[in-house]
């Protein structure tokens, strides 16, 4: 007995069988289509979430970098006027101390300390910045040792002032290079964000 004869002899069973097969086939197709729609929707939501996080971290990092760049510029300016002889080494120390205190408090209180999240999205080469930081720290230690002490002769004070001027120039150059590194980071972030807008 073939299928057409079976359906003719048993119409109720045949209709029920066709309905069950059609229903199962429809349910399977509908679930497959829904699966692909849900997967596409999930991927789109994930990309949107990723994009929002990237933009948010870029914003926070940009604000921090700009604030830090202002700090570096102020320090650089102090060393430039010291190099020109417009201020003496003690005034340089006092001015830098004021700026360091002001900016260190400002950067500590910076509302977006999550700016480090930018490193999730970008692979900045921090090696040179770390080298500059280490050298800057070493120079600052040397400058403390070079401060004239009571009882130093004029000859010793003059030689210390010459060394202070050399170290001040090195610090100014370090701050300038650090400034350029942060500027490069900002440029990279902005360029990348332009692709999203």
- Predicted structure pTM score: 0.62
Q: How confident is the model at residue 196 (pLDDT cuts 50, 70, 90)?
A: low
Question: Max Cα separation, the chain?
Answer: 125
Residue 155: how many CA atoms within 13 Å on its side-chain side?
A: 0
Q: How many CB atoms lie within 10 A of CB 182?
A: 19
Q: How many residues does the chain have?
A: 197
Given pLDDT bands bounded at 50, 70 and 90, which one contains residue 114? low
Instruction: Categorize the per-residue pLDDT at 63 as very low, low, confident or very high, splitting at 50, 70 and 90.
Output: confident
pLDDT, average across residues 45-51: 86
Taking residues 35-39, report their average pLDDT. Answer: 89
Helix 11-83 × helix 89-108 angle, to 10°: 160
Q: Residue 154: which residues within 8 A CB-CB, separation 6 or more?
A: none
Show the tokens assigned to 53.
Answer: 């996080």
Q: For residue 70, count other CB atoms closer than 10 A to its CB.
A: 13
Q: 175 Cβ partners below 8 Å, 6+ apart?
A: 72, 73, 75, 76, 79, 136
């Amino acid at each position: 007995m073939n299928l057409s004869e079976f359906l003719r002899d048993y119409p109720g069973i045949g209709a029920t069988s066709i309905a069950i097969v059609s229903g199962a086939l429809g349910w399977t197709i509908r679930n497959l289509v829904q699966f692909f729609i849900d997967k596409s929707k999930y991927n789109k939501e994930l990309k949107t979430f990723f994009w929002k996080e990237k933009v948010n971290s870029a914003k926070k990092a940009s604000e921090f970098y700009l604030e830090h760049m202002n700090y570096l510029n102020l320090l650089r300016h102090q060393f430039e006027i010291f190099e020109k002889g417009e201020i003496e080494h003690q005034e340089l120390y006092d001015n830098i101390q004021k700026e360091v205190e002001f900016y260190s408090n400002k950067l500590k209180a910076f509302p977006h300390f999550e700016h480090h999240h930018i490193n999730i999205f970008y692979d900045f080469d921090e090696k040179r910045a770390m080298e500059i930081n280490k050298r800057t720290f070493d120079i600052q230690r040397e400058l403390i040792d070079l401060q004239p002490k009571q009882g130093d002769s004029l000859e010793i004070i003059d030689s210390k002032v010459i060394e202070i001027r050399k170290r001040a120039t090195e610090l100014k150059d370090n701050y300038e290079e650090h400034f350029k590194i942060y500027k490069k980071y900002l440029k990279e972030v902005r360029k990348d964000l332009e692709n999203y807008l």
